[in-house]
Structure 1
Amino acid sequence: MDRRSFLYGASVSAMAFSIPDMPELFKSTNMGVVVHSYWTRWGSKVPSQSYPGFTNAIDLIDHCQRIGAGGVQVGVKDWTTDFAKKVRDKREKTGLYLEGSIGLPKTAADVAAFEQEVKGAKEAGATILRTVCSGGRRYETFKTNAEFQDFRKKSIASLQLAEPVLRKHKVKLGVENHKDWRADELAAVLKQLNSEWIGVTLDFGNSIALVEDPMVVVQTLVPYIVSTHVKDMAVDEYSDGFLLSEVPLGKGILDLPKIVELCKKHNPDVTFNLEMITRDPLEIPCLKDEYWATFEGVPTTELARTLRMVKQQKYNQGLPKVSQLTAEGKLEKEEQNILSCLVYSKDKLALR
């Protein structure tokens, strides 16, 4: 078996932990890893010799250095000054970059805590932070357009509270398109804010859930790009709409080389952070009336195009599922998927 076949094989994850040094192939990649890629392993209480749970950012940095990732994007909530210094020391020893993930201040009373988190992240070496305006999915969280418009108003207010802190500490914030904003809506918010310190964490695949063309999303948001969530997506049909899954890079429907090229063109220093979430497919109920409660002015052609795409490009072997696996099996599959993506990032995306 040649090296590439070996790396893609089922034993790659176990081998990663049985030898002291990873192959040079892994060491040369500079794609980072988003903490959410370790959907199962982060904070895991499953007793596992091969895949022990990560309890904090230092654990994640250690592991990502071992598998050859270029950096990490991880939450910075509740970091003490002492812990931030330990993260900085670990980051400097490993040579990995660090990006933070942070919540927004909801009121003026929250700004002090927000600033403390920004200071902790910067102390550790992060000058880019990722955030979301909504932790949920638009079609599940908001039941009326009035609710969504209230969310929009509050989101702008939160970003306006955050902006002076970001400017003061010279830290950039990327707002993720997190199955909440359609691309034109998020672009309009950023244009209204008009701050060099607030841009986009561009997620390559999330907006398919809002029946958007992923390449149009990229073209709309890439002028504001400060960071990324790299993923590939696969789709299949189901009675109320379609199913959507993250799959290993190169196995899905996204034109990843073109997207990466556009990102580099608009921001040569942009980081590429893998968000490969190993889970069961998400149901996107776009044929239900409730799904459309918060959308105004979206042409029916968007729905038609999306459903046509699903029919034409559905995942022939069936979308991957993990709910039937044992706890150890889920951990193993998660690690295999991440390692596979790192190989692809070097071989096909030239991220080295």
Structure 2
Amino acid sequence: MRIGLETESYHLAFQNGLMDIFGFIRKTAELGLDGVMINIIALPGDKYIHPEWGTLGGEDPDHLERVRKEIKKYGLFAEIDTRGTDPQHLTKVINVANTIGADVIRTYCCFNGYERERLERAPEDIKKIVPLLKRYRIKLAVENHEEETADEVIKIVKEVNSPWVGVHCDIGNSMMAWEEPVDAVRKLAPYAYTTHFKDHIIIKDEDQYRVCGVPVGKGNIDLEKCFEILVNDSTLTRINIEMCYPYVSIFKREKGTGGVSELGKGAFKVEETPFDPSVIKPSQYYYPPEEHLISLLKAQMKGVEESVKYVLGLRDKYCR
């Protein structure tokens, strides 16, 4: 099993102009990993990230050729993270993926909350770009991205009915839809073409409960079971670390949507906030105030190292 790293794991460094795609590729190799997953989504607060191509940094042919050569230099695999099912957008992404040598593209349907219409439209949208996927031998993986249950994502893949379209199995996103992570992974594994391997806890933020990212191995998801399922019940040859720390999310669906109705047990056990809430509020983790940026950057850097060590340990245990 090859282990990759998603650019989101260093989101604070990218957001603040302290890392670019070339630095990320080199850092991934230094960590002893096997591949890069490049997130091309930019958010309004990402002032140092390319507005259309995110952490990739642009689509200029010379730039893309440099990226391709840097990835090849270190012998890494490459994947791309995008969003949406608009055929025109996905066509552009497929062409860029082909240029840099990426052979898997992650996408998801819902952007800012559950949108039934987007899920219903997705299969017909995706069918339009299957011939291009086939031509370039690139696979598209539809993610359970916080809003969707495993069953809803699998339904899309089954309706498309193509060997070039499968599932992106995110280990932690199921929690935002009130779905037990192990149950979601068990369902998604047979269809999985790629992954985000992460860890979460539940915290209380003033009067609301939220899902909170932590370094992999520091949370309450049964990651050993998830890893074992991915090894035994999928055809995956890669697992990508996406350490979402520091990060919090609201629940995106109603209680019980994915089968879980109460907090307090297993992955949904409530824990203390990672940082003193009198110093920094959870809502400030993703875009921290200037006075807290350095301390959160250091925490993120350390968190990546801890996450890599933990996942490599799982590989040693389950992939001998």
Q: Is the 8 A contact 1:88 1:124 kept in 2?
A: yes
Give the direction of change, closer, same or farther, for the CA distance of 1:310–1:261 in structure 2 (3 Å limit): closer
Aligned: 1:326 with 2:292: yes
C-alpha distance in 2, partners of 1:231/1:312? 15
* Structure number, greater radius of gyration: 1
The Cα offsets for residues 269-303 of structure 1, whole Å up to 9 and x where unpaired, read as 43111111222533338xxxxx54xx9x948xx34
Distance apart, 1:173 and its partner CA:
0.8
Distance apart, 1:157 and its partner CA:
2.8
C-alpha distance in 2, partners of 1:122/1:192? 25
What is the TM-score when the length of structure 1 is the normalising length? 0.74
**Secondary structure of the corresponding residue to residue 95 of structure 1:** coil
Identity, in percent, stands at 24
Give the direction of change, closer, same or farther, for the CA distance of 1:59–1:137 in structure 2 (3 Å limit): farther
Specify which structure has the bigger relative contact order, considering alpha-carbon pairs within 8 angstroms and separated by 6 or more residues. 1
| 1:202 paired residue among 143, 158, 169 | 169
For residue 278 of structure 2, what is the aligned residue in structure 1? none
Aligned AA for 1:212? E
Q: Is the 8 A contact 2:142 2:157 kept in 1?
A: no
Q: Is the 8 A contact 2:220 2:268 kept in 1?
A: no
Give the direction of change, closer, same or farther, for the CA distance of 1:101–1:68 in structure 2 (3 Å limit): same
Aligned: 1:67 with 2:37: no
Distance apart, 1:137 and its partner CA:
3.6
C-alpha distance in 2, partners of 1:282/1:103? 18
Distance apart, 1:238 and its partner CA:
5.9
Give the direction of change, closer, same or farther, for the CA distance of 1:167–1:247 in structure 2 (3 Å limit): same
For residue 301 of structure 2, what is the aligned residue in structure 1? 335
For residue 13 of structure 1, what is the aligned residue in structure 2? none
The Cα offsets for residues 123-163 of structure 1, whole Å up to 9 and x where unpaired, read as 3221111112123343xxxxxxxxx3322223223222222
- Name which of structure 1's ranges 232-241 and 209-218 shifts more when overlaid on structure 2: 232-241
- Name which of structure 1's ranges 223-232 and 150-159 shifts more when overlaid on structure 2: 150-159
| 1:87 paired residue among 33, 57, 67 | 67
C-alpha distance in 2, partners of 1:192/1:41? 39
C-alpha distance in 1, partners of 2:268/2:135? 50
Aligned AA for 2:302? Q
Aligned: 1:34 with 2:43: no
Distance apart, 1:341 and its partner CA:
0.6
Distance apart, 1:198 and its partner CA:
0.8
The Cα offsets for residues 37-62 of structure 1, whole Å up to 9 and x where unpaired, read as 112111414xxxxxxx223x323202
Q: Is the 8 A contact 1:257 1:349 kept in 2?
A: no
Aligned AA for 1:33? L
The Cα offsets for residues 311-351 of structure 1, whole Å up to 9 and x where unpaired, read as 98322x43445447622222111111001111111224427
Give the direction of change, closer, same or farther, for the CA distance of 1:209–1:82 in structure 2 (3 Å limit): same
Give the direction of change, closer, same or farther, for the CA distance of 1:311–1:94 in structure 2 (3 Å limit): closer
Give the direction of change, closer, same or farther, for the CA distance of 1:283–1:75 in structure 2 (3 Å limit): closer
For residue 173 of structure 1, what is the aligned residue in structure 2? 140
Distance apart, 1:68 and its partner CA:
2.4
C-alpha distance in 2, partners of 1:318/1:105? 35
Higher helix proportion: 1
C-alpha distance in 1, partners of 2:225/2:268? 21
Give the direction of change, closer, same or farther, for the CA distance of 1:114–1:318 in structure 2 (3 Å limit): closer
The Cα offsets for residues 180-215 of structure 1, whole Å up to 9 and x where unpaired, read as 211111111111111111111110011111111111
Q: Is the 8 A contact 1:104 1:159 kept in 2?
A: no
| 1:125 paired residue among 83, 101, 109 | 101
C-alpha distance in 2, partners of 1:303/1:328? 37
Give the direction of change, closer, same or farther, for the CA distance of 1:42–1:130 in structure 2 (3 Å limit): same
C-alpha RMSD of matched pairs (Å): 2.8
Q: Is the 8 A contact 2:71 2:77 kept in 1?
A: yes
C-alpha distance in 2, partners of 1:310/1:243? 15
C-alpha distance in 2, partners of 1:340/1:311? 20
**Secondary structure of the corresponding residue to residue 189 of structure 1:** helix
What is the TM-score when the length of structure 2 is the normalising length? 0.80
Q: Is the 8 A contact 1:236 1:311 kept in 2?
A: no
Distance apart, 1:69 and its partner CA:
2.5
1:2-13 superposed matches below 5 A? none
For residue 182 of structure 1, what is the aligned residue in structure 2? 149
Q: Is the 8 A contact 1:237 1:310 kept in 2?
A: no
For residue 219 of structure 2, what is the aligned residue in structure 1? 252
Q: Is the 8 A contact 2:84 2:110 kept in 1?
A: no
Q: Is the 8 A contact 1:225 1:267 kept in 2?
A: yes
For residue 265 of structure 1, what is the aligned residue in structure 2? 232
4+ aligned runs moved over 6 Å, structure 1: none
The Cα offsets for residues 233-288 of structure 1, whole Å up to 9 and x where unpaired, read as 11134676632111112211112122112112233443111111222533338xxx
Distance apart, 1:106 and its partner CA:
2.1
Distance apart, 1:90 and its partner CA:
0.9
For residue 54 of structure 1, what is the aligned residue in structure 2? 19
